[in-house]
Amino acid sequence: MKALHFPGNSFLIGTTKSQRSFIFDATTPEITVPDAHCTRRYSTCKKFCNVRKSSDFIAKLSCSADLQGPMCSDVLCQRSSNRCGVRYSRLQSQFYYNKLRIFSQFWSSPNSDDVGVWAEDVISVQPLPGTDGEWRFIRLGTQPLVLKIPVAAFFDTRGMREIGTIGLGRQPKIKNIVQILYENREIPYPAVTISMPKERLGIAQNFYFSFGDYNDKHCTANWESVEAIGDREWMFDGLEAGFLDYQSSRGFRVILTTSDVIHMPKRVMDDFLERGVLAYTSKYSGEFNVYKINDTMAARAFQNYFQITPSLRFDMEMSDILFAREDDYVIQANWIEPNPDNVDWAVGKMILYNNCVVLDYKKNILAFSKNK
């Protein structure tokens, strides 16, 4: 039994293996698929919710106050004519004889306003060919999944919320894809290595995933481990942090994501905005929470870093934290409210540009090494 390697578009849904596009999400364990039956299943909003003017925020946001159905805001910024384009639809011929079952159990995303219902269907995966060059299908049987509605599609991240997600997160009552693969004896060990090969920088799906091992194809073999705190998400302790002109030696916790968005303490975000270090920009249409770094500030030399243990430190160049690698100094950022877990930061790509990580579900650790 060997490790498996596959990107997000390797997953196939239904008995006829209809290919869908997915992204991997380290913060949640579910498999989610955008739902084509939103208005039929969850009722509808007022007609003005389908207005053409995407700038009419007031009309659209008022949909959420319309209590015609529990998910009546499913049409926010989505006209009915394009709602079913890439979504999971049983009306398509390939789904006439599948094993799809839809349950009444409601689901809501822990990371966004997305909502949906639990369901189950046959899931298969087509790994990248091995050394023998042969392609094969792996049938994982009937598995739980979520039919979701992107409630606020205009708060999208590069259009990804119109795509399904394959969860890598931890949750005691929900199996993620790594656990499913391991229990089906398709991989030798319950772990996944996430790396970002240098040749894939700038590609939307630029991570390389190896399921079932500590893979050093794109990484040095010097793994340093940290304990995953609790039994949800991939959270770990940190000692010191530096970001732009902010520095702190107060202990904190970090949640690892696979996202561009930099979540920072609210007090830090407020300070950056008040001093003009960050300023909101609407240049990038369809993106949310994009901020421009003050030109004077961006020209200064800062140490952007996380000191995790005395021997494990993540140093980030300015280019590692930028949302768009262009002349503009812009980042995608959001804040984290004070919380009992003492989580100050939730970050992904700004760390993973230069570091590999293994999510080890058996030992409940994260193991890091440098990218080659």
The structural domains of the chain, ordered by start, are 4-188 (2.40.70.10), 220-371 (2.40.70.10)
- What was the pLDDT predicted at 295? 84
Two tokens, residue 143? 């598995």
- What was the pLDDT predicted at 319? 81
66, 68, 71, 72: CA torsion to nearest 10: -50
Q: How confident is the model at residue 113 (pLDDT cuts 50, 70, 90)?
A: low
pLDDT above 70 as % of the chain: 70
Where are the extended beta strands (E) located within 113-195? 115-125, 138-149, 164-167, 191-195
Name the β-bridge partners of 316: 304
Mean pLDDT of 200-220: 77
- What was the pLDDT predicted at 136? 76
Mean pLDDT of 128-147: 78
Mean pLDDT of 318-333: 78
28, 159, 204, 324, 349 from 196: Cα distances, Å? 20, 21, 11, 17, 9
Q: Is the pLDDT of residue 46 over 50?
A: no
CB atoms within 10 A of CB 275: 11
Q: How confident is the model at residue 164 (pLDDT cuts 50, 70, 90)?
A: confident
Instruction: List, for residues 60-109, the tens digit of each pLDDT value.
Output: 333 343 333 333 333 333 333 333 333 444 434 343 445 778 887 888 88
pTM: 0.80
